[in-house]
Amino acid sequence: MAEAPTARSLHQTLIGAGAMLLGLTFAIGATSIPSEAGYAGVGPNFLPWLVAVSLLVCGTLLVWQARTGGFRSLDEPSGAERGDWDALAWISAGVLLNAAAIERIGFILSCALCYAFAVRGLRRSEGRGAGGLVPTLIDMLTGLLIAAPAFWLFTKLLAINLPGLTRTGWL
């Protein structure tokens, strides 16, 4: 005899159905993209179709699993009972600052600022202090060490234009 669906299995079914709906939306959008083969023999609609089919397959598998016993081997949810709005505010501020400043101060500095804000928010979410001047400077330096090679990889190796601070292409 089949068990009555639980709230958890209903939520899991809805996740799978949402993935399927998203895949269907991508498929509908992909039909409006021309399919003429371009460079390397694939057309511009190849990637949207690949994503659509992948989402449909994954969504179908998720619904099947939810209906036949639920997602397997799930641990009970961990974390706080409520969202950490202070941490969310720091991380969101970093992303918004990055978007607002990237054209003015360049990719490297804006990404380093975004990184420093995000780390501050994550520290606060763990209950640790936001840190003083030294941890903030270390976070900025770490952000620079991550953003600079990414910038150089995109601009020098892949020839993709990203906003720089100077016209030399190195900052």
The pLDDT tens digits for 83-115 are 788 889 999 999 999 999 988 888 899 999 999
Residue 2 has a pLDDT of: 47
Q: Based on the domain organization, do 94 and 60 belong to the same domain?
A: no
Read off the pTM. Answer: 0.57
> Residue 101 corresponds to which tokens in the numbers above?
């400043």
Q: Based on the domain organization, do 122 and 153 belong to the same domain?
A: yes
Determine, yes or no, domain membership for 148.
Answer: yes
Q: Based on the domain organization, do 148 and 121 belong to the same domain?
A: yes
Determine, yes or no, domain membership for 170.
Answer: no
Structural domains in the chain (count): 2
Q: Based on the domain organization, do 91 and 146 belong to the same domain?
A: yes
Cα 49–chain centre separation: 20
Q: Based on the domain organization, do 96 and 150 belong to the same domain?
A: yes
Domain with 112, as residue range(s), is 85-157
Q: Based on the domain organization, do 104 and 131 belong to the same domain?
A: yes
Which residues have a Cβ under 8 Å from the Cβ of 55 and sit 6 or more positions away? 19, 20, 22, 23, 26
Which residues have a Cβ under 8 Å from the Cβ of 22 and sit 6 or more positions away? 55, 59
pLDDT digits (tens, 9 = 90+) for 34-59: 877 666 667 778 888 999 999 999 99
Q: In the chain, count H helices and then E strands.
A: 4, 0
pLDDT digits (tens, 9 = 90+) for 142-152: 999 999 999 88
Q: Based on the domain organization, do 105 and 144 belong to the same domain?
A: yes
